[in-house]
Structure 1
């Protein structure tokens, strides 16, 4: 092994990447707009939901209910007629439509139990279920306050001092931004490494490498360090410009320590990408294999759903996945301010998994080159 060969081949990989506009656009998009969109466009709680109200009663209690729907949970209600309600729901303009029937206040004061109709667009799953509970609570509170002529304040028997640690304002974007950075690191490192190998095969340059005085280890190592460098630079820019700058996410720990953990993680995932590149014979095949590998890595790593909620077998299997340890490492550093003395077991696990994947991919790479020679 000669370091000069590895360095030269790595520079060649970087030049090849610069001549590929599609991959360059993918890198820029993945570490800028994709992170910002994932952090802000899909809130898990109710936020600025569209609501329309049909007021057939025109009473003080109906007006109280209308005035209760305000941002940030709801947009200002659109006052519509009953004939417009179904049309607007069919067009997707309203997530919720409330119909207050005639004589609602009169029936309420007479001790009857009048019903208010609530129509929900259930295709908007992120808001439909939560919003229904919010609306029921708001309407019930306003009716009780109207009947009692004042807003009752229940004094609890005990006081609950709520302390939301690591995200005191309960801002979804703070969590979503970091998790999306982790997902993009995993995806891009696999894609770039695998695409680099497939590009060599499609362009015929792999045959040129076979007649040069370089070993498969040098070729593979060059691809790993070159693609890892690209991903790490893009990650550093994303953390500074998008996460901390545009989204204002407070980072509790050391960003350089996080980047060091990302480097070990990328070592494992680029080896995985090269292995997939040796299995696939074309970019479409590689894309199909990527779907089978990437989705379980991201969904079962614990970044979206706590691992404790998963079946025991899944937890055991995912211990061998690099993303599981990278998620724990990243959350510990960026959210809780953990130092190396806390996260070193995850560093060690990532290094061991990366070494195993690198060795496995190298054996497969040597066999593939042997068949082409």
Structure 2
């Protein structure tokens, strides 16, 4: 009972220390709000609200159907222009895409010929231009295939490929990148806050004050784990409900409560890692260099940036012992696929076991460093 009281009051001290640092609090809020929004919406793998114009020289029912196939949110409502205006509007940057439908387009199709449709692209926005060209090609091809099925032209192919996108039907990149951004911030800031708290105690001399009190290294370390983990947990809740669900409109298919159980398990590991790095570091500068190396490995091998399956076989075996890999895995299962406990309990168990083992080692190392200090 006395040990629990000691941990409680030490955790309160840690919380006061964190909350009294206004710069640190603002940084945590910034990292879990604007940074999440920026990473989710700043880079996109799909076309959104692209400007497009049509120079229709055919003026047929088919050309009208092609023009009407483009609509928000992928494209703005198409604008009709003349062919002699194409060069001027492209020079002025008014449209990213200008599609030219040639004369007698529908008649040539009915006759079995293959007329050309010209697509002019403003390639100054390289990524959107390349992706948008593929969108335009697919939309026109699908509409023409539908049209030709009503004629005598044979358009049957050897295979009818039917695509069904699960969990993200429209391929919205923000659905994926926002959750990955939250997971990256959890890994980074949990390690930073906990490790910095250990080094701050040593540099400010307050660790010596704790040593003269009837406290054990376990109680000191556990208080830092609880206090800093609580700060990150609250920030994660605010980010998920306010930024991801309300602002970015990302749907959560599974149980939010179940996901936060997994977050608690991962926070236990991340805070233990922070205590470990803070213990072996002799200065804040050395700790910052270790953070760069450790966090980069944790994030790159987690499967959030690139799938684990694309990594070499020997590296995949190593990542199995990284809690970050299991964190990303059960987050995708719960949030995107709506899986329950039966689908993620193995990931939960791995994170808990590895976190407990690492915490035990970190406390032992922390106890050893305190004994040297004494």
Per-residue deviation at 1:77? Answer: 8.2
Secondary structure in structure 1 of the residue aligned to 2:43: coil
Name the counterpart of 2:18. Answer: 17
8 A contact 1:82–1:99 mirrored in 2: no
Tell me how far apart the structure 2 counterparts of residues 216 and 325 of structure 1 sit (CA, whole Å). 29
8 A contact 2:121–2:129 mirrored in 1: no
Tell me how far apart the structure 2 counterparts of residues 213 and 13 of structure 1 sit (CA, whole Å). 18
Please give the per-residue CA displacement for 1:45-100, whole angstroms capped at 9, x wherever unaligned.
Answer: 222346799x8x99979x98999876433457898875896796xxxx98x57698
8 A contact 2:53–2:78 mirrored in 1: yes
Name the counterpart of 2:186. Answer: 185
Per-residue deviation at 1:143? Answer: 11
Unaligned runs of 5+ in 1: none
Name the counterpart of 2:249. Answer: 248
**Correspondence 1:26 to 2:17:** no
Tell me how far apart the structure 1 counterparts of residues 72 and 259 of structure 2 sit (CA, whole Å). 37
Per-residue deviation at 1:138? Answer: 6.6
Please give the per-residue CA displacement for 1:130-182, whole angstroms capped at 9, x wherever unaligned.
Answer: 2343455678899999xxxx9x8956777666543323443332222222222
**Correspondence 1:233 to 2:234:** yes
Name the counterpart of 2:323. Answer: 322
Per-residue deviation at 1:122? Answer: 7.0
Secondary structure in structure 2 of the residue aligned to 1:214: coil
Name the counterpart of 1:215. Answer: 216
Tell me how far apart the structure 2 counterparts of residues 51 and 76 of structure 1 sit (CA, whole Å). 7
Tell me how far apart the structure 1 counterparts of residues 225 and 217 of structure 2 sit (CA, whole Å). 12
The aligned runs of 1:1-373 (5 Å cut-off) are 2-49=3-50, 71-74=72-75, 121=123, 124-125=126-127, 127-135=128-136, 154=155, 162-373=163-374
TM-score (norm 2): 0.78
Tell me how far apart the structure 2 counterparts of residues 97 and 270 of structure 1 sit (CA, whole Å). 50
Tell me how far apart the structure 1 counterparts of residues 199 and 334 of structure 2 sit (CA, whole Å). 35
Please give the per-residue CA displacement for 1:271-302, whole angstroms capped at 9, x wherever unaligned.
Answer: 11111212333334323322212122222212
Tell me how far apart the structure 1 counterparts of residues 289 and 49 of structure 2 sit (CA, whole Å). 37
Unaligned runs of 5+ in 2: none
Per-residue deviation at 1:3? Answer: 1.5
Please give the per-residue CA displacement for 1:91-144, whole angstroms capped at 9, x wherever unaligned.
Answer: xx98x57698xxx869xx99999996856647744x343234345567889999
Secondary structure in structure 2 of the residue aligned to 1:271: helix
**Aligned CA-pair RMSD:** 4.0
Tell me how far apart the structure 1 counterparts of residues 88 and 23 of structure 2 sit (CA, whole Å). 50
Secondary structure in structure 2 of the residue aligned to 1:46: coil
TM-score (norm 1): 0.78
Please give the per-residue CA displacement for 1:209-254, whole angstroms capped at 9, x wherever unaligned.
Answer: 2222212111111100111111122222222222232233332222
Tell me how far apart the structure 2 counterparts of residues 153 and 240 of structure 1 sit (CA, whole Å). 52
Tell me how far apart the structure 1 counterparts of residues 89 and 168 of structure 2 sit (CA, whole Å). 42
Tell me how far apart the structure 1 counterparts of residues 252 and 143 of structure 2 sit (CA, whole Å). 41
8 A contact 2:86–2:98 mirrored in 1: no
Sort the Cα spacing of 1:84 and 1:255 in 2 relative to 1 into closer, same or farther, 3 A.
closer
What is the aligned length? Answer: 363
